[in-house]
Structure 1
Amino acid sequence: MQTKWLAIAFALLTLALSGCGFALRGSSYGVAAHYQPLYIAADRESQILSQALQRQLEINGVDTTQRRTKAKLIVEVTLLRKERRSIALDREARDAEYALFERARLALRSPDGKFKRGPITLEQRRIIVNDPDNPVGEQTETDIVRAEMREQLGVRLAQQVEYWTRDNGEAH
């Protein structure tokens, strides 16, 4: 009898969550089919970021192409700047904490080169507490954190592309 009530309560909870608009973080809306495939245009400095964006789009079921001529929409990605700023110093004037920044610009163009949306600048920031007695560990940690930041920036770029292309099927 108790398991029956538990099953009913679980079913009601599931219905309530689905009815209230609850969605798992990271669930996507996708890109309208008439905009696919997308071509990601990036300069040499932005290749790692463009690869992160492409992975995210493909995870969300968005078709991409390696040939600009086959694209129905051009996604331009540019890594603007990566910075490191000292936040706090220790007794010996070494970095005790530092911040890492990654900025990227995103724009959508039609195949004929006209701007559809953007450009917009997105940024990722991280604060790292440093072990001044381990300079090798500092560089390794910085490299790992920067890689994570680029992946997160790729997620945000993909979300922005999807947002721009779902406005009633129009990328303005």
Structure 2
Amino acid sequence: MNTIVVRLLSTVLVAATLAGCGFQLRGSTGQYNMPFQSIYLAFPETSPLGTELKRNLRAGDSVRIENDASKAQALFDVLGESRGKSILSLNSLGRVREYSLSYTLVFRVRDANNRELLGPTEITLRRNIAFDESQVLAKESEEQMLYRDMQADLVQQIMRRLAAIKPL
């Protein structure tokens, strides 16, 4: 009984100490310290990924999104963006049982003097989705939801990589 109480008290003491000192995992607040004050994003105007990345960058106080590349300290170049869907498994009748969805983005970041801050970087995300012929509309909706989830995950990965850039 005494050892349980001692363990419980020591656990509470450690948790209170960590909470009291302001300890937080880096990026856990959703705020990142970017090594530049302005950025130009080379996404098409209708790109949902570009819109979400802009929204996340604007959420922080330190970065301006420039519409003119010549005014930006950093240039985010999209080298490729693609979504894919491939058959992952078949049932005993040869019909699709599972698909594998993929979302790939290839990008680089340059400074105003055209020097690479981050070389060509590829991020590929994959999600598996079960398929049922009797629920085609529901599965299409689930597929779109998975792509939106991958897009949000991709934006967070981009934000972390932008924050990790070492200024020249």
TM-score band, normalised by shorter chain: 0.7 to 0.9
Letter in 1 for 2:164: Y
Letter in 2 for 1:114: R
- Deviation, 1:81, is 2.2
The residue number in structure 2 matching 1:31 is 34
Q: Secondary structure at the match of 1:134?
A: helix
Structure 2: gaps spanning 5 or more residues: 1-7
Letter in 2 for 1:14: A
Q: Secondary structure at the match of 1:55?
A: helix
Letter in 2 for 1:144: M
The residue number in structure 2 matching 1:3 is none
Q: Normalising by structure 2, what TM-score?
A: 0.78
Q: Deviations over 1:61-90 (max 9, x none)?
A: 333222223211111234432111111112
Letter in 1 for 2:81: L
1:91-106 correspondence to structure 2 within 5 Å: 91-106=92-107
- Deviation, 1:101, is 0.6
User: Contact 1:43/1:78 (CA < 8 Å) preserved in 2?
Assistant: no
Superposed CA RMSD in Å reads 3.0
The residue number in structure 1 matching 2:4 is none
Q: Secondary structure at the match of 2:164?
A: helix
1:44-83 correspondence to structure 2 within 5 Å: 47-61=47-61, 62-83=63-84
User: Contact 1:79/1:102 (CA < 8 Å) preserved in 2?
Assistant: no
Q: Normalising by structure 1, what TM-score?
A: 0.76
Give the total of aligned pairs.
Answer: 159
- Deviation, 1:145, is 1.2
The residue number in structure 2 matching 1:141 is 142
**Identity of counterpart residues, as a percentage?**
18
Relative distance call for 1:95 and 1:44 in structure 2 (3 A) is farther
- Deviation, 1:25, is 5.9
Structure 1: gaps spanning 5 or more residues: 1-5
State the alpha-carbon separation in 2 of the partners of residues 154 and 119 from structure 1. Answer: 16
Q: Secondary structure at the match of 2:133?
A: coil
